[in-house]
């Protein structure tokens, strides 16, 4: 029975550890956060994700999985810690990845395999990770194996995608790749593709950059459509009928810990980036653009009160990391607007501003600004909301509300891209 030590019990590390544990491996999951370790050992999930709780219970009950604060000897080490964004320098902050790698050096033995799942800039495994591991006195390829298997599952559907998506494996050499492939074959139903370690690093960043640029294009289309008097949502829907066109949706900006930062990891050491940096600029500019729409709509009011519907970075999740809502709120406050927040997915205390009940957020408000396309927002009690508000206005940046219904309740509506 092979033993796997997974470093990092976050959004990727925990599900990965549990999938290994429920598919034939002995797994110890390591996290520096004692509260996480304690929770997980008591079968309490530290964050919401579909199916995660059942998997945790199954893994702990089978005695194939336990959590610990420190790494230990194992056959395989999987590093799955965050790579934050160093905003000031617009590059990857490798400190967690480095610390996690350092923490396994003294446990590294001949024939061990080390897998990095964390997202890193091209070349990081060869230039940064491997030299740290060689501090053990062992030599990569001769004594131990290294592979990069970047995680690519989408938050909100993580377990399904971890199992069903195709998987990229970039080994330091063919034996590293083969050994990593054998491991992931235990639970991955999608195809597993083997490539070089640097290519695997680049693929991951290219995927998220592609999505960022596609969204930037949609955002630019939205602004042009407004000038041209066209409804961009209808136009995109119809353009996407073309067999080779797939335009994403405009919105108030790109949030989350991946799409908004990975393009910078790709370009941090390159002199060739043009379109990638421009797309970042366009998407980062969207909260400002939305602010101008809202300001224009409220120009007749002295000190308007604005209610934000949705501060999660995307639909149907409670995650607010890098949410464009924060920039919008800061701009609105600077403008002298009173801001209140409602988000059915985000618990109060999990965001920089208080998250209120819907009634508390809308009473005496002048305008609702929809920033996240949560499913709930499709059908809301528009008459009741209108009755509680001071003036009936709504700005929809996601084209996700029932416009007819709101109009019937007497609301003035502005839609991004129309």
Active site residues: 204, 258
Task: Quote the least distance from Cβ 354 to ligand SAJ, whole Å.
Answer: 22
Among 256, 263, 310, 318, binds ligand SAJ (CB under 6 A): 256
Sign of CA dihedral 270, 169, 174, 29: positive
Q: Which stretch binds ligand SAJ (CB under 6 A): 29-37, 124-132, 149-157, 386-394?
A: 149-157
Task: Quote the least distance from Cβ 348 to ligand SAJ, whole Å.
Answer: 21
Task: Quote the least distance from Cβ 44 to ligand SAJ, whole Å.
Answer: 24
Q: Which stretch binds ligand SAJ (CB under 6 A): 1-9, 84-92, 136-144, 255-263?
A: 255-263
Alpha-carbon distance of 140 to 134, in angstroms, equals 7
Q: What angle do CA 245, 246, 250 make, to 5 degrees?
A: 125
Q: DSSP per residue over 5-22, as a string?
A: EEE--STTHHHHHHHHHT
SS (H, E, C) 330-385: HHHHHCCCEEEEECCCCCCCCCCCCEECHHHHHCCCCEEEECCCCHHHHCCCHHHH
10 binds ligand SAJ (CB under 6 A): no
Task: Quote the least distance from Cβ 135 to ligand SAJ, whole Å.
Answer: 29
User: For residue 399, what are its two tokens?
Assistant: 């084209």
Nearest by Cα to 69 from 97, 43, 100, 96: 100
Among 37, 259, 341, 385, binds ligand SAJ (CB under 6 A): 259
Would you say 183 or 317 has its CB closer to ligand SAJ?
317
**CB–CB of 417/224 below 8 Å?**
no
Task: Quote the least distance from Cβ 258 to ligand SAJ, whole Å.
Answer: 3
Would you say 28 or 80 has its CB closer to ligand SAJ?
80
Exposure on the CB side of residue 285, measured as CA atoms within 13 A? 13
Task: Quote the least distance from Cβ 166 to ligand SAJ, whole Å.
Answer: 11
Would you say 248 or 388 has its CB closer to ligand SAJ?
248
Number of residues that bind ligand SAJ (CB under 6 A): 19
Among 105, 248, 356, 388, binds ligand SAJ (CB under 6 A): 248
Nearest by Cα to 118 from 201, 36, 176: 201
Would you say 30 or 259 has its CB closer to ligand SAJ?
259
Here's the x/- map for ligand SAJ, 182-221, by CB under 6 A: it reads as -------------------------xx--x---x------
Q: Which helix (H) or strand (E) holds 320?
A: none
Cβ count within 10 A of residue 141: 14
Among 67, 197, 254, 332, binds ligand SAJ (CB under 6 A): 254
Task: Quote the least distance from Cβ 68 to ligand SAJ, whole Å.
Answer: 25
Task: Quote the least distance from Cβ 92 to ligand SAJ, whole Å.
Answer: 13
152 binds ligand SAJ (CB under 6 A): yes
User: For residue 326, what are its two tokens?
Assistant: 């924060």
Residue 294 Cα distances to 306, 331, 336, angstroms = 9, 11, 13
**CB–CB of 71/77 below 8 Å?**
yes
**DSSP at 389:** S
At residue 122, what are phi and psi to the nearest 5 degrees? -55, 130
**CB–CB of 124/136 below 8 Å?**
no
Among 64, 167, 181, 249, binds ligand SAJ (CB under 6 A): 249
Q: Which stretch binds ligand SAJ (CB under 6 A): 55-63, 170-178, 256-264, 328-336?
A: 256-264
Sign of CA dihedral 190, 195, 196, 201: negative
Would you say 167 or 249 has its CB closer to ligand SAJ?
249
Alpha-carbon distance of 142 to 150, in angstroms, equals 24
Among 264, 313, 328, 411, binds ligand SAJ (CB under 6 A): 313
393 binds ligand SAJ (CB under 6 A): no
Would you say 211 or 390 has its CB closer to ligand SAJ?
211
Interface residues with ligand SAJ (CB under 6 A)? Answer: 151-155, 207-208, 211, 215, 248-249, 251, 254-256, 258-259, 313-314
């Amino acid at each position: 029975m092979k033993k796997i030590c997974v470093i990092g019990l976050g959004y990727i590390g925990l599900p990965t550890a549990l999938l290994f544990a429920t598919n034939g491996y002995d797994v110890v999951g390591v996290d520096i956060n004692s509260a996480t370790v304690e929770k997980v050992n008591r079968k309490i999930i530290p964050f919401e994700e579909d199916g995660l709780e059942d998997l945790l219970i199954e893994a702990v009950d089978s005695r194939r999985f336990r959590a610990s604060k420190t790494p230990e000897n194992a056959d395989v080490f999987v590093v799955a810690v965050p790579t934050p964004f160093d905003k000031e320098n617009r590059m990857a902050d490798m400190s967690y990845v480095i610390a996690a790698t350092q923490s396994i050096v003294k446990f590294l033995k001949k024939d061990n395999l080390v897998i990095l799942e964390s997202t890193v800039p091209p070349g990081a495994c060869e230039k940064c990770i491997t030299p740290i591991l060689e501090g053990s006195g062992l030599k990569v390829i001769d004594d131990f194996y290294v592979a990069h298997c970047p995680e690519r599952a989408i938050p909100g559907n993580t377990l399904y995608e971890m199992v069903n998506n195709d998987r990229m494996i970039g080994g330091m050499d063919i034996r590293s790749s083969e050994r990593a492939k054998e491991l992931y074959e235990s639970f991955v139903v999608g195809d597993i593709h083997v490539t070089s370690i640097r290519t695997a690093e680049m693929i991951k960043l290219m995927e998220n950059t592609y999505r960022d640029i596609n969204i930037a294009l949609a955002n630019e289309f939205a602004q042009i459509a407004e000038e041209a008097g066209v409804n961009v949502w209808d136009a995109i829907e119809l353009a996407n009928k073309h067999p080779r066109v797939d335009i994403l949706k405009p919105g108030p900006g790109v949030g989350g810990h991946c799409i908004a930062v990975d393009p910078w990891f790709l370009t941090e050491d390159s002199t060739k980036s043009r379109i990638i940096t421009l797309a970042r600029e366009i998407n980062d500019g969207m909260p400002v653009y939305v602010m101008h729409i809202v300001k224009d709509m409220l120009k007749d009011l002295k000190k308007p009160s604005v209610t934000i519907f949705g501060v999660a970075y995307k639909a149907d999740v409670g995650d607010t990391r890098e949410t464009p809502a924060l920039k919008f709120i800061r701009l609105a406050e600077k403008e002298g607007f009173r801001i209140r927040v409602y988000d059915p997915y985000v618990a109060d205390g999990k965001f920089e501003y208080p998250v209120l009940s819907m009634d508390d957020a809308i009473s005496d408000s002048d305008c609702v600004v929809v920033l996240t396309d949560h499913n709930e927002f499709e059908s809301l009690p528009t008459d009741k909301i209108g009755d509680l508000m001071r003036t009936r206005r709504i700005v929809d940046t996601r084209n996700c509300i029932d416009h007819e219904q709101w109009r019937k309740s007497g609301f003035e509506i502005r839609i991004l891209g129309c």
